[in-house]
Amino acid sequence: LDEPTSGMDPHARRFTWDLLRSQREGRTVVLTTHFLDEAEVLSDRLAIMAHGALRACGSAAFLKAHFPPGF
């Protein structure tokens, strides 16, 4: 999914999050987003890419513990 909640109002965004969470059992979902809060809510693991290269990968807690804010 490429930025599925981009441009949505907060209510629609929350509805979409709930829908995606309800459908994740037994599936792998690849989601792109610029919103860290969205990535944290919807993901077990995060991968951060910059300039076409993978820069970091792990849980939200791992990334927050190992990289400074703004990375």
Interval 31-51: pLDDT, tens: 999 888 899 999 999 999 999
Residue/partner pairs of 16-25 with CB below 8 Å, 24 or more apart = 17/41, 17/42
- Helix (H) and strand (E) counts for the chain? 3, 2
Least confidently predicted of 5-9, 23-27, 65-69: 65-69
Bridge-based pairing of strands 53-58 and 46-50 is antiparallel
Q: Is 41 exposed, middle or buried (0-12, 13-18, 19+ CB in 10 A)?
A: middle
* Nearest by Cα to 13 from 31, 34, 38: 38
- Predicted TM-score (pTM) of this structure: 0.77
